[in-house]
Amino acid sequence: MEVNKTAVSNLVRNVEGEVRRIQDSDEYLLNEDTLRELLKNKVNDATIKAIMEDIEQIEERDGISRDYFEEQFTSHLDLLGQGVYPKKLIEAIKFVSLIQSGLTNQKAYDAVFPQKAAQVYGRGSNTSSFAAEYAKKKTVVEIMKRSI
């Protein structure tokens, strides 16, 4: 069987082009429009923008994959309400994600709440008790249960 070198060359170029297109795309699960639709009548426009800013910085600032975080956020939207606001949900997802990546409760707490941690350390104390209490919060426990 003879191989058509031109056809193979064209196929390789097409595949390479498709790989470049996918790598260059900014397609994520969430953007302001999809978030607005998911949270319809639950939050205002300023909150949508704040959530998107947090999500856009998640990889660089927190070391959590944006795709993974978006998947987790959308999976746990049902937890919103009754005292659980988007910011609290985001913090809980970060905390659980960092624990699952191998950090201790205390290190995860320090990463999620750096200002609070700095205040506590500034007083000559540590955040271990804060982290232990945070790990028992209803939202955190629910996210942990769902991820097992």
Q: What is the pLDDT of residue 28?
A: 77
* Banded model confidence at residue 10, pLDDT cuts 50, 70, 90: low
Q: What is the pLDDT of residue 81?
A: 87
Residues in the chain: 148
pLDDT tens digits, one per residue of 86-128: 999 999 999 999 999 999 999 999 999 999 999 999 999 999 9
pLDDT tens digits, one per residue of 24-75: 555 778 888 988 888 888 889 999 999 999 999 999 998 899 999 999 999 9
What pTM, to 2 d.p., does this model score? 0.78
Instruction: List the structure tokens of 76.
Output: 């746990």
Alpha-carbon span 111 to 101, nearest angstrom: 13
